[in-house]
Amino acid sequence: SLKGIKSKGKLIMGTSADFPPNEFHVLLDGKDTIVGYDISIGKYIADKLGVELEIKDMEFNNLLGGLSTGMLDIVIAGMVNEPDRDANFTKSYDIDEIHKILIRKSDKDKFQSESDFNGAT
């Protein structure tokens, strides 16, 4: 509950950090760190509530269980609302269909697929 989150002073977010760009591991100053836009969203919500964000990195398939037992307060994991997933889903926060990445028109033929970016300078 919101009261519970505020009284413990932290929002416990479940995710599965194997899903870039939503959530993934990087080395920052030699330290293993989980980053991605789902993490930014979690931080934003925690900030709004005035609490710390605690991230639990788990198996994707254990997230819903963690939520229903109360081990997790929230799941942000690029998860879509399938009928057999028993949880209270928000509306989509996914920006994929709205925001685009731009390249120069003159480079149009050079970059047709993801692999065309390998080694591109």
Q: 80 or 120, CB closer to ligand ARG?
A: 80
Residue that the structure tokens 């047709």 belong to? 112
78 lines the binding site for ligand ARG (CB under 6 A): yes
Q: Hey, what amino acid is at 53?
A: L
Q: 16 or 67, CB closer to ligand ARG?
A: 16
Instruction: Name the 3-class secondary structure at 27.
Output: strand
The whole-angstrom separation of Cα 4 and Cα 52 is: 13
65 lines the binding site for ligand ARG (CB under 6 A): no
The whole-angstrom separation of Cα 33 and Cα 26 is: 5
The angle formed by the CA atoms of residues 39, 75 and 21, to the nearest 5 degrees, is 40
CA distances from 51 to 7, 18, 26, 113 (A): 9, 25, 24, 41
Residues 4-63 contacting ligand ARG, CB under 6 A: 15-16, 18-19, 22-23, 60
Minimum CB–partner distance for residue 107 and ligand ARG (Å): 30
Q: 59 or 107, CB closer to ligand ARG?
A: 59
Q: 87 or 103, CB closer to ligand ARG?
A: 87
- Where along the sequence are the contacts to ligand ARG (CB under 6 A)? 15-16, 18-19, 22-23, 60, 77-80
